[in-house]
Chains A and B, each alone.
Chain A
């Protein structure tokens, strides 16, 4: 029995090595079906005059504004890039601070018990409450948006990476020490690869939080970016334009999620249990 089960395991491992995971990439785009249903339902409700809200634009109208007008508007495209740049800068800066801190907290119990409760308390505060301060100190510009984004991205990154470090089996370190790994190698060849899956999860979480916060900052503090454009369009009464801005964010968010994060996670799946 043991022999056959072993054989089966061997055969299974051979198979999983050669078979690429095509299944997942198709599944990644299945959301388009309910999305289409939503749009069609929305369009029909409005056309049949079943709606309660005044001036809700038709999805067809929004899409035509987006694809035949806004996408060729340099100002709009620039705003999209500005928001995206603020978001990315936030994730980048937060990673620079959160990853080393999380590694220290994950490895050194004393640091963890003195630092982490404080970080938890600060993380539990509503982030947006900090915004007026940043605007006051850094002005209504990219600097305030980036700093705000950094603060918001810090917490999911810190906690996921710290968890990852804590979950590294002790024996991995024993292996490194037995073969006399240098300190730098313990970090670059053991800790960093070991926490890579949690790091991707952390960045993904931060990324999802950040769209909300970056838009909120732009709307509240009138910092230039797509949030500002949306707010401006609503105030002018051109709701189709405002919705087109929201659709644009949706499209970018899903593309980055599917094309970058999903691919990274697929790569991890090759070795991660």
Chain B
């Protein structure tokens, strides 16, 4: 077995927002190995992104801890980088300057970081766009810049928060296979949060299925499909059905919960969940 790279140990999170107590995560435990591709799926608003933020060191768990190579994470770790749903490119920086950002913050000298950034821009297929500004790029191209920026700092873990959700399906499809290629060529661990089950099945070694809020780790689904995976293959469809059934009851929970919420908001009843 490959070495454990990331250990998420009994991580719980609650916070209050606008005076409402929110229980986002409840004792989530899992380990990720080197060069593993993990997807985290769950009903919307269940706390998947909160979990990812905790791993990134952007948020602190209320209980439990996250360890990277045995060391507890309490702030962002230089070997963990992140790709965002909103791309989060700085509009005042060119493609090149955006890719350089992480290296710049690390104090890498200008000529060296330029060289690394140019290599990565070529790797993600944006050669010729070094001096373009994000506003002139399509969504898919923006996310390529986001990927290049995340890889520029040579991370061991790449976190992706719904990285393909804001891109049109055709482009997302191309981007997914490119990310898989990148992943296969390196030793990096990828963790992708998504609500797209097909996407999860296509990319992941293991899929963590979270329950409705407070999110518990309901199931770890091992994807035993040969790569590259084919969406129309009967085996793939069978897995998709299994995964969907695992999530279905959770989805129903959320629907009921949303309905209740709507009802008590309508009648201005005190919080029924509390």
Contact = CB atoms under 8 A, between A and B. Distances in A.
A272 B76 contact: no
B90 A172 contact: yes
Given A6-B138, A175-B84, A177-B76, A273 B105 contact: no
Given A2-B168, A178-B82, A185-B105, A194 B92 contact: yes
Q: How large is the interface on B (under 10, 10 to 19, 20 to 34, 35 or more residues)?
A: 35 or more
Residue of B81, B101, B149 most packed against chain A (CB within 10 A): B101
Interface in A180-239: 180-182, 185, 189-190, 193-194, 196
B86 interface: yes
B170 interface: yes
Contacts of B75: 180
A55 interface: no
Contacts of B22: none
Contacts of A12: 136
Interface stretch (B61-69, B127-135, B177-185, B250-258): B127-135
A137 interface: no
Contact of B132 (A3, A6, A17, A180): A17
A179 B133 contact: no
A181 B105 contact: yes
A171 B86 contact: yes
A10 interface: yes
Given A171-B88, A174-B82, A196-B92, A180 B76 contact: yes
Interface residues of A, number: 31
Contacts of B72: none
B42 interface: no
A177 B102 CA distance: 10
B105 A182 contact: yes
Contacts of A180: 75-76, 78, 105-106
Given A6-B140, A10-B138, A169-B86, A178 B76 contact: yes
B138 A172 contact: no
Contact of B169 (A2, A177, A182, A272): A2
A13 interface: yes
Contact of A6 (B84, B133, B171): B171
A179 B101 CA distance: 8
B171 A270 contact: no
23 contacts: A2-B169, A2-B170, A2-B171, A6-B171, A9-B137, A13-B138, A17-B131, A171-B84, A171-B86, A175-B82, A175-B101, A177-B58, A178-B82, A179-B76, A179-B105, A179-B106, A180-B75, A180-B106, A181-B105, A182-B105, A190-B90, A272-B91, A272-B92
Interface of B: 53, 56-58, 75-76, 78, 80-82, 84, 86, 88, 90-93, 101-102, 104-106, 129, 131-138, 140-141, 149, 153, 168-171
Given A2-B169, A176-B105, 20 more contacts: A6-B140, A6-B168, A9-B137, A13-B129, A17-B131, A174-B53, A174-B58, A174-B88, A175-B88, A175-B90, A175-B149, A177-B57, A177-B76, A180-B76, A193-B93, A194-B90, A196-B92, A271-B93, A271-B134, A273-B135
